[in-house]
Amino acid sequence: MTDRAEIGVFGGSGFYSLLDDVREIKVDTPYGPPSDSFFLASVAGRAVAFLPRHGRRHTIPPHKINYRANVWAMRSLGVKAVISPCAAGSLQRHVKPGDFVVCDQLVDRTRHRVDTFYDGPIVTHLSSAEIYDPTLRALAIETIRDHGIPHHERGTIVIIEGPRFSTKAESEWFAAAGWEVISMTQYPEAWLCRELGMAVVNIALITDYDAGVHEGTEAVDAQSVLEVFAQNAERIQGVVLDLIGRFPADLDSLGARAALAPTRGDGHTITPEDVRLFETGL
């Protein structure tokens, strides 16, 4: 096996611990070290790279994750499409703990995170209207349905800075806006994937009712999150590994890299001499 992969997974050790012939490698980046080593394996004939975003022992809090290093390293291995599952809270009564949500939109409420690769000198503006890839979302929905798991085919995920959970006032605000899901890691992770031309899909595993603002629900705490996640870990592992086998053979057909072409925003004509970040150093 070479140090290359075509599909990436941001998630814990539970995914690759189920596989045979897993190889651990370290990847250096211009942005410092990623959260951990990468773990390379073959799944359904596809070369896959796994990275535990919080570190293999969950020692990195969400606001301290080096998202740029993680995403750059993933792309440097050749990855073109990413599965980005996460534990999440519910903001709506009908989205219940144990449900899966295949999010189609996100709202960024973080404050202190470095969230772009495009710091110049080439000014770049990439559309974020559809961060999550619709083709991969459809495949994720199909896979979850085939596994018989209660799920929601769309949802907006609001990402908060962490490590604290929401106040009741914040939770009421988010719920009133109509958003369904709350978490701490999808931004800037998913966005940075798009900046480097990788398609991305999120599956949110609902563990709690956030601040417990709905009648009959309790405010989230860390213990309850861990308990529900542990109860459902096997289900998300099975879905992710099955989903990998359903990815399109031609990942370029998803168009994530092609979307980077018309993004120069400094008013100059694009010429063959332009050197774009996503084409260099990878």
Assigned token pair, 210: 């956030």
Query: Which residue in the list 36, 133, 210, 242 is annotated as catalytic?
Result: 210
| 146 in Cβ contact with 280 (< 8 Å) | no
Phi, psi values for residue 28, rounded to 5°: -90, 150
Half-sphere exposure of 273 (CA within 13 A, CB side): 2
Q: Is 276 exposed, middle or buried (0-12, 13-18, 19+ CB in 10 A)?
A: middle
Counting DSSP H helices and E strands in the chain, the numbers are 6, 13
Q: Is 214 exposed, middle or buried (0-12, 13-18, 19+ CB in 10 A)?
A: middle
| 7 in Cβ contact with 47 (< 8 Å) | yes
Active site residue 250: no
Query: Which residue in the list 146, 208, 250, 274 is annotated as catalytic?
Result: 208
Active site residue 208: yes
Determine how many CB atoms are found less than 10 A away from the CB of residue 161.
15
d(CA 149, CA 159): 24
137 sits in the region (left: phi over 0; alpha: psi -120 to 50; else beta) called: alpha
d(CA 13, CA 56): 6
For the annotated catalytic residues, the residue numbers are 208, 210
